[in-house]
Amino acid sequence: MTTVLDTTTRQPNRPLVVRFAGDSGDGIQLAGYEFARSTAEAGADFMTFPDYPAEIRAPAGTTFGVSAFQIQFGSGEVLTPGDEADVLIAFNPAALKTNLQYLRPGGLLVVDETHFDARGLKKAGIAASPLEDGSLNRYQVVTVAITKRALEALASLDLGRKFASRARNFWALGLVYWLFGRDMAPTVALLERKFANDPEVLGANLLALKAGYAHGETVEIPRYEELARPRKKLQGAKGRIISGTQAMALGIAAIPVLSQREVIYCSYPITPASALLHTLARYSNGVSTFQAEDEIAAASAAIGASYGGALGMTASSGPGLALKTEALGLAVMAELPLVVIDVQRAGPSTGMPTKPEQSDLTMAIHGRHGEAPLPVFAPATPEDCFWIMIEAARTAIEAMTPVIVLSDAYLANAASDWTPPDVDKLADITLAPVSGPDAFQAYARDGTTLARQWVLPGTKGLAHRIGGIEKQAGSGHISYDPANHAEMVRLRAEKIARIADRRPAIELESGADDADILVIGWGSTYGAIQQAVRELNDEGKRAAHVHLRQLWPLPKGLGELLERYPRSITAEMNSGQLASILRSEFLKPVGHISNITGQPFRVRDLKSAIAARIEA
Amino acid sequence: MNVIPMKPDEFESDQEVRWCPGCGDYAILKAVRGVLADIGRSPHEVVFVSGIGCAARLPYYLTTYGFHTIHGRAPAVATGVKLANPSLDVWVIGGDGDMLSIGGNHTLHVLRRNVDLNILLFNNAIYGLTKGQYSPTSPVGTRSPSTPGGSVEAPVNAALFALGAGGKFVARGADTLQKHLPQVLRRAHDHKGASFVEILQNCIVYNDGAFGAINDRSESHNATIRLEHGKPMVFGKDEDKGLVFDERVLKFEVVNLADVPRDRLCVHDETSLDRAFALARLEQPRFPVALGVLYAALAPEFVETRKAMKKPGTWDRASLKALF
């Protein structure tokens, strides 16, 4: 038995990173999710990252069918899923081959050796078994015949090999629970609920879970119990785990309550946005879903729903947003509220559908025909997905405009601890009163917001016609008058610009007013940038972090921040789109750190890139 | 519902109509106003949603609510309107390019979903607003600015398409037939579900006379058959011709009433899908073009069925807390 912990590289309170990797049919995501739930129950802070392939069930044992789930947890604040794993659980040769790169040197590798035979190695495209050729010498390796042991454990149930081997994820989970001194009770409770009507499956999974745990006790393998268990429960920890998708769905569910307008969510299936459609489809209470025939119809139906008196919403990913752009032009012209969610993925075209990227920013801000400005927001964390939806709806209704919310594949799937907000303290979304029929004008505007009235068909005396043709200011009648068009273009832009006046000025997330560099982030990179900047400051390198949740109109106070610091750079999962926008808006030499790998930023990479800029 | 006697001019907006003089759209607008008055719902309870094209300008000329949207998407927008407020009387207006070319997909799906909309397709077999290119309903050989040597594509038959898409109410009318068209529109309105009406419409500038005798009032009776449910299929100015239906091959044949007794004629049954398909296919010059309600069958309506399956529920802070 090797030394349990290499204390040379670990500090006692440093969070731990665990990564599960196996076939996409192995139940990796379920095992990972259960581990996250148990982490939440234990009161630790955490962040998870599912890393799964686009193929539904690629041939078992192949590298392109490998699905992984990573979680970082600890007793302090955890902002990212972690750069590299302290523990990797690999279910087959392909999972080992593709995921070993994420395990830190000296880390613990738990391998299911069952499939390291000639056939298994061939499927993974490996010549010699890494378990025997010394290539794993840098790691603490524990080989366990997980599948074999799971089958043995279930032998008494007479289930058949294929069926029984499906329970191996719970066997492995049991082992991991032992490894980290976790309580199995929440998982047992979940299984009992989930398979209440299927005693056979329930029995198999429970048996496997307990057998895995017992195996840990019987064989000598390193245990992380002492260090992994938080000293005390985090204050306010509710033991609730929430992904960006779930938070977004709950935020959407809050909108009818706050606005008294039904939400009609119109969408066409696309990865990774569909998960939101599935979540909302189960809701009632003021939220309904409509699966349209295509992306354009989804946007069009959402516009129709808003025109009809609900708040129309549509969601997609990059290729779908591209298809919706003409409809967005109509929503801008018709000045109707609409919320559009783009769960960004690596593009262009089909790109990498399950991998995150922030490459739709310029499309969201500028990507329409004609001059069609609209607000663009981006949530920073899974929890923030809840708040951003309420803000987007509020802005859409207050300013009578479509709003784009830029999430991404990472944020949608990443999960963290969540404390539900106090529902009674959520502020209402107030609707502007509608005038009477005397001298009614469809395009009369509020003096402050410049919004026109939201008059619903069915309202007596106010029947009017709207559409995509340019309007006469005020009356809303068709107008091709040159001066009127100029005025309307200016009014539409000014209406959006004024949204920034009503929203808070931007503030630093961390760092000093006289730091050497300002790092500007937006969206899902929040955790990685925040962690990197904090660590840099701890090491005496002076960086400050500002994070944009409001990409358009740019938030108040941003120009002053850019003036204040001698250097400023963005860190984005694209080739510098925000930097380009900031340069053109503020005429400042804003640099950028880009990550175009389809993977979230690693804190280590960010730190070295920022440090290099400070020294440059 | 608010039903009071109304006059067509109560539906006439203050906007100047901008179609070319002599356009068939004027006649359709007149028929629409007449039917709206006849239906008797107040203008504020009625919504016209249109796409892009000459036909799609129609909402501006009515006093109802109107939404002139984007090319091809009116059926999708109208679906959203209906989802938000099913009590509105929603009409969809578009042309052959709008609804069968750029928006063909939405026409297909709105019909198969059976959303309670009155869909009027103004078919003039040409792109008018873009200056005369051939359209998806133009016959092979149509010479146009984009097909100077004549078009080579087979046209789509709008009524046949609607039937194929699963449309539960498919009818046909013609712009000039001012007694017949309002009856068809009224039937379309009264039908619960997606009602599809193809209106053969003359474009006087780019495709004048495209439908030949069909919408020539003096010749129309010889070129068309006006279908009436439960009535034998008789046509001709002198009511001297009729249609018989061969059940074995699902085809119609034209007969002279001088040769064939009246009781051998096919009796129109608008619930027969087989006959509706055969009727939709009848083309000049061999056959009279079928006008009126080709097919009408009741089926569950989309928005109502959704609501019945899943109650929208109430929403308040308590229900939100429960969700958390």
Contact B105 A294 (CB under 8 A): yes
User: Whole-angstrom Cα distance, residue B324 to residue A422?
Assistant: 10
Residue A106, number of CB atoms within 10 A of its CB: 16
Chain A residue numbers with beta carbons less than 8 Å from the beta carbon of B50 are 467
Q: Which residues of B touch A303 (CB under 8 A)?
A: 69, 77, 80
Q: Which of A573, A546, A592, A583 is nearest to A360 (CA)?
A: A573
User: What's the gap in Å between the CA of A569 and the closest CA on chain B?
Assistant: 38
> Quick one: pLDDT at residue A76?
85
The answer to whether A608 and A558 have CB atoms below 8 angstroms apart is no
Q: Tens digits of per-residue pLDDT, A519-558?
A: 999 999 999 999 999 999 999 999 999 999 999 999 999 9
Residue A420 CA to residue A409 CA, distance in Å, equals 23
- pLDDT tens-digit profile of A317-330? 999 999 999 999 99
List the single best residue of B17, B67, B115 to mutate versus A (max A Cβ within 10 A): B67
Query: How far is it, in rounded angstroms, from Cα B275 to Cα B319?
Result: 52
Report chain B residues whose CB lies below 8 A from the CB of A312: 80, 84
Q: Judge whether residue A459 has pLDDT over 60.
A: yes
Predicted confidence at residue A208, as pLDDT, reads: 92
Q: Kindly give the residue spans of alpha helices, DSSP state H, lying in chain B.
A: 24-39, 74-84, 96, 104-113, 158-164, 180-190, 220-223, 273-281, 302-309, 317-323
Asked if the model's pLDDT at residue B237 lies above 60, the reply is yes
Please tell me whether residue B184 adopts helix, strand or coil conformation.
Answer: helix
Cβ distance A465 to B315 less than 8 Å, yes or no, reads no
Q: Is it the case that residue B51 has pLDDT exceeding 90?
A: yes
- Torsion, Cα A595 A597 A601 A607, to 10 degrees, reads -60
Q: What is the pLDDT of residues B190-204, one digit of tens each?
A: 999 999 999 999 999
Residue A7 confidence class, pLDDT cut points 50, 70, 90: very low
With a pLDDT cut of 70, the percent of chain B lying above it is 98
**B73 contacts chain A (CB < 8 A):** yes
* Antiparallel, parallel or unpaired: β A568-572 and A66-74: unpaired
* pLDDT higher at B183 or A6: B183
Pairing of strands A263-267, A311-316: parallel
- The helix, strand and coil proportions of chain A, stated in percent and rounded to the nearest 5, come to 40, 20, 40
Q: What is the rounded distance in angstroms from the CA atom of residue B244 to the CA atom of residue B240?
A: 13
At residue A616 the predicted structure's pLDDT band, cuts being 50, 70 and 90, is confident
Q: Do B76 and A296 touch (CB under 8 A)?
A: yes
Per-residue confidence band for A13, with pLDDT thresholds at 50, 70 and 90: low
Residue B59, chain A, CB below 8 Å: the answer is: yes
248-307 in chain B: CB under 8 A from chain A: 306
Instruction: Kindly report the average pLDDT of chain B as a whole number.
Output: 95
pLDDT tens across B90-139, in order? 999 999 999 999 999 999 999 999 999 999 999 999 999 999 999 999 99
List pLDDT tens digits, range A559-574.
999 999 999 999 999 9
Q: Taking 90 as the threshold, does the pLDDT of residue B217 lie above it?
A: no
The sign of the CA dihedral B146, B148, B152, B154 is positive
Are A468 and B311 inside 8 Å of each other by CB? no
Tens of pLDDT, residues A272-312: 999 999 999 999 889 999 999 999 999 999 999 999 999 99
Report which DSSP code applies to B56. Answer: G
Which chain A residues are closer than 8 Å to B316 by Cβ? 257
Query: Looking at the complex, does the CB of residue B64 fall below 8 Å from at least one CB of chain A?
Result: yes
C-beta of residue B293 within 8 angstroms of C-beta of residue B184: yes
Q: What is the pLDDT of residue A5?
A: 41
Count other C-beta atoms under 10 Å from residue A331's C-beta: 30
Facing B79 at nearest CB: one of A304, A420, A460: A304
> Residue A143 CA to chain centroid, in angstroms?
34
Count how many pairs of residues, chain A against chain B, have C-beta atoms within 8 Å.
176
Q: Please judge whether B76 and A300 are an interchain contact, meaning their C-beta atoms are less than 8 angstroms apart.
A: yes
Give me the residue from A312, A327, A478 closest to B70, CB to CB: A327
ipTM: 0.97
Q: Which residue has the tokens 């898409």?
A: B165
Check CB contact of B47 with chain A, cutoff 8 Å: yes
Q: How distant is the Cα of B61 from the closest Cα of chain A, in angstroms?
A: 9
Residue type, A121: L
Task: Give the residue-averaged pLDDT of A585-610.
Answer: 96
How far does the CA of residue A245 sit from the closest CA of chain B (Å)?
A: 14
Per-residue pLDDT at A157: 78
pLDDT at A52: 81
B85 touches A at CB < 8 Å: yes
> 3-class DSSP state for residue A532?
helix
pLDDT of residue A8: 36
pLDDT for the residue numbered A167: 86
Hey, what amino acid is at B18? R
A237-262 pLDDT, tens digit each: 455 789 999 999 999 999 999 999 99
Cα–Cα distance for residue pair B234/B255, rounded to 1 Å: 10
Instruction: Give CA angle at A467 (A465, A471), nearest 5°.
Output: 85
Using DSSP's 3-state secondary structure scheme, residue A465 falls into strand
Residues 6+ apart with CB under 8 A from A47: A71, A72, A78, A79, A80, A81, A82, A382, A414, A415, A416, A527
Give helix A168-179 / helix A199-218 axis angle, nearest 10°.
40
pLDDT digits (tens, 9 = 90+) for A361-375: 999 999 999 999 999
Fill in the DSSP letter of residue B100: I
Residue whose entry in the numeric block shows the structure tokens 């729903």? A305
B3: confidence class by pLDDT, cuts 50, 70, 90: low
Q: Does residue A159 register a pLDDT over 80?
A: no
Q: Is the pLDDT of residue A360 over 80?
A: yes
Tell me the chain A residues in contact with residue B80 when contact means C-beta distances shorter than 8 Å. 264, 266, 290, 300-308, 312
Judge: A308–B68 Cβ closer than 8 Å, yes or no. Answer: no
Residues A582 and A506 sit within 8 Å (Cβ to Cβ): no
- To the nearest whole Å, the CA of A346 is away from the closest chain B CA by 28
Using alpha carbons, select from A263, A310, A250, A58 the residue that is nearest to residue B82: A310
Nearest to A443 by CA among A418, A465, A411: A465
State which residue of chain A sits closest to B105, comparing Cα positions: A293
How far is Cα A270 from Cα A406, in angstroms, rounded to an integer?
Answer: 15
Please name the residue of chain A whose CA is at the shortest distance from the CA of residue B102: A296
pLDDT of residue A505: 96
Partner-chain contact B83 A290, CB within 8 Å: yes
Q: What is the pLDDT of residue A41?
A: 81
Q: What is the pLDDT of residue A1?
A: 31
DSSP string covering B72-98: T-HHHHHHHHHHH-TTSEEEEEEEHII
Supply angle C-alpha B305, B310, B314, rounded to 5.
Answer: 125
Report the candidate in A264, A294, A300, A293 with the shortest Cα–Cα distance to residue B109. Answer: A293
pLDDT (tens digit, 9 = 90+) per residue, A192-212?
Answer: 998 899 888 898 899 999 999
How far apart are the C-alpha atoms of A505 and A503, rounded to whole Å? 7
- Nearest by CB to residue A423, choosing from B109, B314, B321, is B321
Question: What is the pLDDT, as a whole number, of residue A509?
Answer: 97
How would residue A603 be classed by pLDDT, with cut points 50, 70 and 90? very high
Nearest by CB: A305 against B70, B84, B314:
B84
Q: What are B279-318's pLDDT values in tens digits? A: 999 999 999 999 999 999 999 999 999 988 877 678 899 9
- Amino acid letter for position B102: I
Is the CB of A288 less than 8 angstroms away from the CB of B320?
no
Q: Which of B65, B310, B324 sits opposite A284 (nearest CB)?
A: B310
pTM recorded for the entire structure: 0.93
CB-closest option in A253, A297, A309 to B84: A309
What pLDDT is stored for residue A44 in this prediction?
84
Does residue A225 carry a pLDDT above 70?
Answer: no
Closest CB to B87: pick one of A312, A458, A464.
A458
**Residues in a beta bridge with A376:** A404, A552
Measure the CA angle with vertex A502, ends A500 and A505; round to 5°: 60
Residue A229 to residue A163: CA distance in whole angstroms: 34
Q: What part of A 435-464 touches B (C-beta under 8 Å)?
A: 456-464
Per-residue pLDDT, A339: 98
**DSSP of A366-415, one letter per residue?**
H-SSSS----EE--SSTTHHHHHHHHHHHHHHHHT-EEEEEEEHHHHH-E
- Point out the residue among A304, A334, A424 whose CB comes nearest to the CB of B78: A304
Q: So what's the pLDDT on residue B311?
A: 74
* Pair A399, A451: CB distance under 8 Å: yes
The chain-wide mean pLDDT, for chain A, equals 91
Q: Do residue A334 and residue B84 have CB atoms under 8 angstroms apart?
A: no
pLDDT of residue A6: 41
